[in-house]
Each structure stands twice: as C-alpha cells, then as structure tokens.
Amino acid sequence: MYDPKSMKAEEFIDHGEVEATLAYADANRNNMPLIRAILDKAREGKGLSHREASVLLACEDEDVFAEVCELAREIKRKFYGNRIVIFAPLYLSNYCVNGCVYCPYHHQNHHIPRKKLTQEEITREVVALQDLGHKRLLLEAGEHPKYNPIEYILESIKTIYSIKHKNGQIRRLNVNIAATTVENYRKLHDAEIGTYQLFQETYHPEEYKKLHPKGPKADYAWHTEAHDRAMEGGIDDVGLGVLFGLTLYKYDFVGLLMHAEHLEAVWGVGPHTISVPRICPADDIDPHTFSNAVPDAIFLKIVALIRLAVPYTGMIMSTRESARIRSEALELGISQISGGSRTSVGGYTIADIRDIENSAQFETNDRRTLDEVVRWLLENHYLPSFCTACYRAGRTGDRFMEFAKNGAIADFCQANAILTMKEYLCDYASPKTLVEGEQVIQLELPKVKNEKFRNASVKRLERIAQGERDFRF
C-alpha cells in the first residue's frame, strides 16, 4: 500500500504505485489539455508530483519537449541564476565486500589494484586538491567493515578539515558512504559533514536484487531507508541519485521523485541534492552489457523534468559525462559539477595516468583541469562558485529550504559566489582565467539585489585582493 509518510521502503516506493504511474503516463501521453495544465503548474516554480512529471516524460511531442526545456531554463535561472557550484570527489579506499555488478570495486574483481589511503596520504591528496583551488570535497569509500570502518571515516574527516596549506582550506566535506546505522550517522553529524549522499542505483526491487547479489547492499530496504536514518541521526541535508541505464529509466525516474516526496512528507524537507549519473565504462565493467542505456536526448529530458519537479533541489553532474552533455545540462537544471576529478584512490598525487585509470571507479569523459573547467564556465557566462557558507552559517535542512523555496537564498548565494570566485582568481587562476573572471565579477555584482550585501561585497573584494580570506554572508 502506497504511503509517502511510511518509514518502510516498500510502502513509500510502492511498486504498485510506480506501475500505476507509468500506466497513467502512457495513457495520457497525448492528452494535451492535461499536459497544458501540468506545464502551467510547472511554470509557477512550486514543483510537480511524480505522476505529473511522468506524463511529461512519456509525451513525445516535440513542441512539448521544447517548452519543458524552456521552463527548466527559466526555473534554473530563477532559483540559481548563473551560479555553478564546483567540487571534487576524494576516494579513500576501494576495498569493498559488496557484489554490485556495475561497479569495478565489487569483491570478486581480483585484478583491480586495491588501496586504502593512510592519514599521511590523505593529507597529500588534500594539499594537491587545495593547490588546484578546491574548497568543497565529496568523500567516497567502498563498504568494508575491516578496511573502512566508521572510525576510519571519522579520522579521515578530522584530518581533511585540519589541513590548511597556503591559502587553501576544505570548508565543506560531503560524504558518500554505504548505508549505516542511526548511531553512525549521528557520529558523522558530530564530525560536521555537509550533505550525506547515497545513490539508490535503481528503485525497481527485483532488478535491485539482480544488480546486488551479495553483500550488505543487497538489502533493498536497509539501503533505501538510509536517508531517513541519516535525518534521524541529525544530518539535515541528504542527497539522492540513481544510476541511469541500469534498468528502465522511466521506473527509476518515478522512484526518484517518490523518494523526494517521501522526505518532504516525513521530514518537511526534500533532498538537498539529486545526482544523475549514467552507467559508463570501468575496469571489469562493460556498459554495453546493460540493455537499458539512456540516449542523450532522453537523458537531457530527464534532467529538465527533475528541475521542474523539484525546483529547490541542487542537481549534480559528474565528469562521467562529456563536456558537451554537461554544457547542455547546465542550461536545463544542473547546478553543481565536479572539476579536475580523479575517481581512483590516491588519484590526485599519482604521477602515472595508467595507474590512475587502472584503479578508477569509472572513466571520466570530461578530463579538463579545474582551471580549464572554471574558464569554460566563465566564457559561457556562468559564475563558478566555491561557496560553503550555508552549512557553516546554519542554513541547512528546513532552514535552507525556507530560503530556497521563496528565492531569498539568492541574496546570500550571489554575493558568496562572487567572493569565493575572487579568492580563486587571486590564488589559483591562470592569466587567461583571471581576465575572464574579473570581467564576470563586474557583470555579476549588480545582480546582488540586497544593497547592504552588494556594498559589503565591493569592500570585501578589495580586502581579498589585499590578502584576506574566507568572507561570507
């Protein structure tokens, strides 16, 4: 029985409701009066239900698709302006006891090099990331009770936050580790993590079993209910995601939105972020063995519809995708991207690219340096942001959503993005990026609507140029 307020996975992601939604969407894919009503509702920027969004996904009318994309652009601009948050993943360990068939870290892969970073090695990785200009990291590790216990994760978090090299500092550390207990989530909260991210991979219960034949992750309910345990443990911000291409994309699209609705219904706050990875090549993994690959056009439509359905949510796209797809997706809803990423353990300090590739979790399609990514964003009239202010100012969970849903968050975000961009330009930018960045800052300053913030930003930009750091609103 479908119940979005239930704490049981099989009830808030009810298989019958998903199937009924898909049938409803198929039956109404050419119902233009209904489609028009849904589009009109989307235009208000208050979101769509999983059924409403599914109707638009099922509709194959080109004019409707064009309107969906235009609405996504409007909503993206309304909530996020030109700002694009930048981060990088940091892989601590690829030891794993799970048998996930789509991941090269699965325990039966005996030829991938296994590695776990020591605290000294973590320090070197973080220094390398700081020297690139990163301020926000996503911590990743395989699930292994011996090699990657919660104590190791907590020690690593403490190490990362403690490192201050030159003007570098990691100001926000998000965490993507396996589903765990309320007690352990409480420990992560006390360690001052930012967002806890956990991807469902697929919401289809039977397909989930096939894709996860062994290990703790094989427990569908334990995995799917993890975000609730994280919220119970005090973590205000959680991130969702599916790995598109594993199973039928329409099913996972519905499940993803139902999960967002569940969090909103139970906790009064939806997901802080939604990630949209697609299956891609990796050691021991051939994406062609998966028969549900999602074409580019459909993938971009999914991005646009997620933006319509959950306008307040940050959307993340990694370097799995090419520069071309990332460019198009930025227009339609993506608000966070990784830059200069390495998906192997120790990848930021390994000299030989072959060693990096042999132990990577997945192949990166966008292999540009962070500076190249920043300049690309600037040249395309975006404002790269290294901001971490909301978390450190206590604007998390329902407090963040209060600002986000009424658009007031832009008063903070625009100014903070400009200040952190100035830091990057002063400390890390190439000469070409510096020129582009200074021009964009002058264009973006007038968009700080709050006069007090705008005037203060001008003064703080001068102080940053003189060597001061870490201003925030």
In DSSP terms, 240 is beta-bridged to: 274
The 3-state DSSP class for residue 9 equals: helix
Please give the chain's pLDDT, 473 residues, in tens. Answer: 999 999 999 999 999 999 999 999 999 999 999 999 999 999 999 999 999 999 999 999 999 999 999 999 999 999 999 999 999 999 999 999 999 988 878 667 667 889 999 999 999 999 999 999 999 999 999 999 999 999 999 999 999 999 999 999 999 999 999 999 999 999 999 999 999 999 999 999 999 999 999 999 999 999 999 999 999 999 999 999 999 989 899 999 999 999 999 999 999 999 999 999 988 644 444 556 666 788 899 999 999 999 999 999 999 998 888 889 999 999 999 999 999 999 889 999 976 555 555 555 545 678 899 999 999 999 999 999 999 988 888 888 877 887 777 777 777 899 999 999 999 999 999 999 999 999 999 999 999 999 999 999 999 999 999 999 999 99
The structural domains of the chain, ordered by start, are: 77-367 (3.20.20.70), 403-465 (no CATH)
Provide the β-strand partners of residue 137. Answer: 88, 173
Q: Tell me the pTM.
A: 0.93
What count of other Cβ atoms lies within 10 Å of the Cβ of residue 304? 26
User: Residues 218, 221, 225, 229: what is their CA dihedral angle, to the nearest 10 degrees?
Assistant: -80
Give SS3 for 176: strand
In 255-369, beta strands by DSSP E: 273-275, 314-317, 336-338
